[in-house]
């Protein structure tokens, strides 16, 4: 994927095209790259925002149990990149995906590459340090929601077993 993006960038540099046209060309040439779905444990290279269609996000939890959630229009995946960008000291190695994404139907999505997310977080660092923004990002993150649901279930099971 990185090789294809690099080749496209190299080709466009030689064409002296306006920035908007470059963006449009890159978008249309890279649609198949956005269609490639992230797998759990692989490096997160894109933060994906779903425009149309549905994806399923799967995580393998303790004891091999799988947790699934549906992502539809307005949802996103790849929020591991936000934590990665805001980490101090910064680490160059991309974070691992906490889930596997599976397309359930024709899906249209917008993808921000890791470097783009890094650029945004560096220029708006003070916004992302705000606790309200952090809580909002976690609330809407499928990864954090899954983690919270599992934590609540474990506490509930301990509570139930302690009573009986």
Q: Is the pLDDT of residue 12 over 70?
A: no
Model's pTM, two decimal places? 0.62
CATH dotted code for 37-155: 2.60.120.10
CB atoms within 10 A of CB 57: 24
- pLDDT confidence bin for 95, thresholds 50/70/90: very high
- pLDDT confidence bin for 5, thresholds 50/70/90: low
Q: Is the pLDDT of residue 127 over 70?
A: yes
Q: What's the first-to-final CA gap in the chain, in angstroms? A: 54
Percent of the chain with pLDDT over 70: 79
3-state secondary structure 77-141: ECCHHHHHHHCCCCCCCCCECCCEEEECCCCEEEEEEHHHHHHHHHHCHHHHHCHHHHHHHHHHC
pLDDT digits (tens, 9 = 90+) for 30-59: 555 445 577 888 999 888 888 888 888 888
Q: Is the pLDDT of residue 94 over 80?
A: yes
Q: Is the pLDDT of residue 150 over 90?
A: no
Structural domain boundaries of the chain?
A: 1-36, 37-155
pLDDT digits (tens, 9 = 90+) for 115-126: 988 888 888 877
């Amino acid at each position: 994927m990185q090789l294809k993006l690099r080749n496209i960038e190299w080709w466009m540099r030689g064409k002296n095209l306006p920035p908007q046209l470059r963006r449009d060309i890159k978008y249309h040439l890279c649609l198949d790259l956005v269609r490639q779905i992230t797998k759990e444990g692989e490096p997160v290279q894109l933060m994906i925002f779903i425009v149309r269609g549905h994806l399923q996000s799967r995580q393998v939890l303790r004891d091999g149990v799988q947790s699934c959630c549906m992502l539809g229009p307005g949802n996103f995946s790849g929020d591991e990149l936000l934590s990665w960008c805001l980490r101090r000291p910064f680490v160059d190695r991309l974070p691992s995906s906490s889930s596997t994404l599976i397309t359930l139907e024709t899906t249209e999505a917008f993808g921000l590459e890791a470097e783009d997310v890094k650029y945004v977080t560096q220029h708006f660092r003070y916004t992302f340090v705000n606790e309200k923004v952090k809580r909002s990002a976690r609330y809407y993150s499928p990864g954090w929601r899954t983690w919270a649901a599992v934590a609540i279930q474990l506490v509930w099971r301990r509570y139930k077993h302690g009573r009986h």
